[in-house]
Amino acid sequence: MLPGSIQISGETLSGAEIRDICESLRENSVRLLSLRGCQLSERDFGHVCRGVAESRSLAQLNLNLGIVSNINRVKQLAEALKTNRSVQSLFLHGSPLTDAGLALLNPALSIHPSLVALDLGDCMLGDEGINLICGLLPPDGAKSGLKELTLSANPGITSKGWGRLAIAVAHSSQLRVLNLDYNPLGDQVAGMLAVAVASSRTLEVLDLEGTGLTNQSAQTLLDMVENYPTALRTLILAENNISPELQQQISDLLSEGEEEEETEVNEVPAREKNPWICQNNSSSQMVLMTSGLGDSLLAETEM
């Protein structure tokens, strides 16, 4: 475990364990709280939320895999986040939020002063949810916004919703990482995203693994990387119907200039700056090996 972290996965938590967790939160000794896939009562979930509200040290909160399982829990989490000022990274992957749940959570997310990373993968979202998420990607830098956004496996979002997101990404002043893997995007949406990437001044990582892309998408993305200056460093295209040759061409273009940046990156400890590290595998894909944002954001890769 990392210092100052509580990480529990797949356990049924007792009242005594919850009391210990809440006490640590109130004592401001926890920076990372992960209760991934755990079972806890409604009452105990409420206690945890109150502990989150009171904590001034908590930087990363992982409630993945069904912890936020109903509307009442969404409401309690929203209330906690309205009071909390320290959480930078919120993981809700695999929670049945739906658009209605996100609508309840959104006001707290919109006003949170520190939140920069949000995982809403596999949360049963649709186009209404996308409209709310776009509001978390401010275009002018006048207020804080997300730097990392995960929307993996939300098949209810239509091409209209993805188009709206592409526009927001194009104009976002802060977004660096966008994970859209395992959504049925297809070539049409990929074309919209290529335009967004070409317009963005900040997007460094785009995950399109398993999104139904073909060589048509890859050619569009290759043309974008070839002809437009972009901040993009990592493009994940695994599990798509794309030829190895096109994948390699895109990989080679994205790799240009990495040697010049490598010296600067190596001078900074990985835990301090959490750099993005890319590597080519045997299928010529760009693979994201580490994740994290900001000096104080703790890195945790589990979902």
- 102-130 pLDDT, tens digit each: 999 999 999 999 999 999 999 999 999 99
Q: Give the model's confidence band at 46: pLDDT under 50 very low, under 70 low, under 90 confident, else very high.
A: very high
pLDDT of residue 144: 77
Contacts of 2 (CB under 8 A, 6+ apart): 31, 32, 298
pLDDT of residue 165: 98
Q: Do domains 1-112 and 124-262 have the same CATH topology?
A: yes
User: 124-262 adopts what CATH topology?
Assistant: 3.80.10
pLDDT of residue 301: 39
What does the pLDDT average to over 8-21?
95
Q: Report the top-level CATH class of 1-112.
A: alpha beta
pLDDT of residue 44: 97
Alpha carbon 249 to chain centroid, angstroms: 27
Domain extent listing, the chain: 1-112, 124-262
Give residue for tokens 């050619």.
Answer: 219
**Between the CA of residue 234 and those of 50, 201, 203, 208, 254, what are the distances in Å?**
38, 14, 9, 10, 7
- 262-298 pLDDT, tens digit each: 544 454 343 333 323 233 333 333 333 223 343 334 4
Q: Give the model's confidence band at 255: pLDDT under 50 very low, under 70 low, under 90 confident, else very high.
A: confident
Arithmetic mean of pLDDT over the chain? 86
pTM: 0.85
pLDDT of residue 49: 98
What CA–CA distance (Å, rounded) separates 19 from 9? Answer: 17
Nearest to 84 by CA among 126, 56, 124: 56
Q: Dihedral of the CA atoms 248, 273, 269, 52 (nearest 10)?
A: -120
